[in-house]
Amino acid sequence: MKTTSCRRRISTIVLAAAVLAPLSACGGGSSEPGTVAISTVDYAFEDLPSTVAAGSTLTLTNKAETELHELVAIRLSDDEDRSAADIVANPEDLVGLFPDVETVLIAPPGEDGEPVVGTGTLNKPGRYLIICAIPTGADPDEYLAAAAESEGGPPDVPGGPPHFVQGMYGEITVSE
Ligand SMILES: [Cu+2]
């Protein structure tokens, strides 16, 4: 009787250790990689998680009625310690970050988006700046057509300041 209960307790402890091991390897962050659904409104990201597991895939749904929105994920260098707000306050710095764009998802108003750069998956651990750089008031069809022809460069279409100027930015940390 005593032996049975003791053995059961040991197997429970072993099971708990096996379950907890992957979590502690993540440094207490999120658990397994998966799909992370993010939506956009004018002019903000909704449901932006602070941390995701490496290998997680972002998806984008645009809930706005007229504005096109995008999610640009830029891997920040390990020695970058400024907040997202401080970085977007210096738009000239963003140009230098362009080579570190990991993925871009773009979504027309009222629709689900799709990746136009990368796959939506964030594999490399670290901090990522998340911005939308669509010009305010840009025509969605005109912008998408210009983006298709610009081969990765920023499309040149008429519009007001980029949405990040209006507060459409954030950050995600990708844990190991
Ligand atoms: Cu936007």
Domain harbouring 36, CATH code: 2.60.40.420
Q: How far is the CA of 68 from the centre of ligand 1 (A)?
A: 6
Q: How far is the CA of 164 from the centre of ligand 1 (A)?
A: 7
Q: β-strand 121-122 against 114-117: which pairing, if any? A: unpaired
Instruction: List the domain range (segments joined by +) for residue 90.
Output: 32-175
DSSP 23-50: HHHTTTS--S--EEEEEEETTEEES--S
The number of folded domains in the chain is 2
Task: Tell me the C-alpha distance between 45 and 85, whole Å.
Answer: 14
Q: β-strand 51-53 against 114-117: which pairing, if any? A: unpaired
Same domain, 12 and 98: no
Q: For the whole model, what pTM was predicted? A: 0.81
Same domain, 40 and 15: no
- Name the 3-class secondary structure at 116: strand
Same domain, 97 and 38: yes
Same domain, 36 and 113: yes
Q: How far is the CA of 104 from the centre of ligand 1 (A)?
A: 12
Once rounded to an integer, what is the mean pLDDT over residues 17-27?
A: 42
Same domain, 13 and 59: no
Once rounded to an integer, what is the mean pLDDT over residues 43-68?
A: 97
Q: How far is the CA of 39 from the centre of ligand 1 (A)?
A: 11
Query: How confident is the model over 94-149, as pLDDT tens digits?
Result: 888 888 999 999 999 999 999 999 999 999 999 999 999 999 999 999 999 998 88
Same domain, 139 and 121: yes
